[in-house]
Amino acid sequence: MDVTAAVALMSLAAGGFCFFQGMRTLKAKHLIENIPTSRIRSLAMGLVEVKGEVICLEPLTSPISGTKCVSYSYTVDEYVREDASSGTGITRQTDYVERWKNIRSGKKSTAFKIKDETGSLRVDPQGSRIDAPLSATYHEKRAGKGRGLMDVLADAIDKSINGPEEKLIKIRPGQSISDPKPSDLRYREYLILPGEELYVMGTAGNDGKETTIARGLNERFFYISRHSEKKISSRMGREAFMLMALGFIFTLTSFTLILAYLKII
């Protein structure tokens, strides 16, 4: 297949994907805006929105900081130097680009309860989209070091562990890592903690013993966030706009390439 035709088809596929994701995000935004917040005591079955305090049932231990939580996700990034040279032979210009490159990530959640002033109910977060803000950032200097936290994570990635904190530099919120060197590692954790206020939209059901919010069989939307409803709606609106704008750009690029391939323009 001609390169132009291949790029045109890939652009068309990317445009369709972006449009689809944009419409899904817009639908989620409308659900969040239009479904009223329910009191737990008078909760109806089906798609519901509740807000309340997290009550821990069986805590997890986050793998970076060792914090007790009900949900964690983490990323590990390595500071790398990549060749960005251009030209060949005697015209070759040697250059390097240094950046953080993701090398590992993971997440885990456990069932918990959410409580408002009228009562509490169980939340099973499996299959949900969890929106937790950045809780902690750590920097590990690797030059001349031996076994690091990355090695510990690789050995026990599915276990709750504490890393060698003596090797980690905690970065304050809003502060960037100063003067990183190649092979340095950056660890970031996103946590939901007991006692925090939480927003949950999912499907409420009752198995005869207790009411649980989980991912529904028909309505698949299931969203858990530490942010306010207003902030969630605003951010989803921006995401939907950007996705559909990208979809338009990819589609326009595809049609332009197709016309060029057919020698119409």
Q: What is the pTM of this model?
A: 0.78
Q: What is the mean pLDDT of residues 219-223?
A: 89
Which has the higher per-residue pLDDT, 224 or 90? 224
Give the mean pLDDT of the chain. 85
Token couple for 36 = 């009223």
Q: What is the pLDDT of residue 85?
A: 58
Q: What percent of the chain has pLDDT over 70?
A: 85
Q: What is the pLDDT of residue 158?
A: 43
Per-residue DSSP letter, 68: E
Q: What is the mean pLDDT of residues 219-233?
A: 91
Split at pLDDT 50, 70, 90, the class of 7 is confident
Q: What is the mean pLDDT of residues 237-254?
A: 93
- 146 has a pLDDT exceeding 90: no
Q: Which of 58-67, 82-91, 134-143, 226-235 has the lowest mean pLDDT?
A: 82-91
Q: What is the mean pLDDT of residues 15-21?
A: 93
Per-residue DSSP letter, 209: S
Q: What is the mean pLDDT of residues 66-82?
A: 93
Residue 69 near residue 191, CB atoms below 8 Å: yes
Q: What is the pLDDT of residue 156?
A: 46
DSSP 120-167: EEEE--TTPEEE--EEEEEEE--TT--S-HHHHHHHSTTS-----GGG
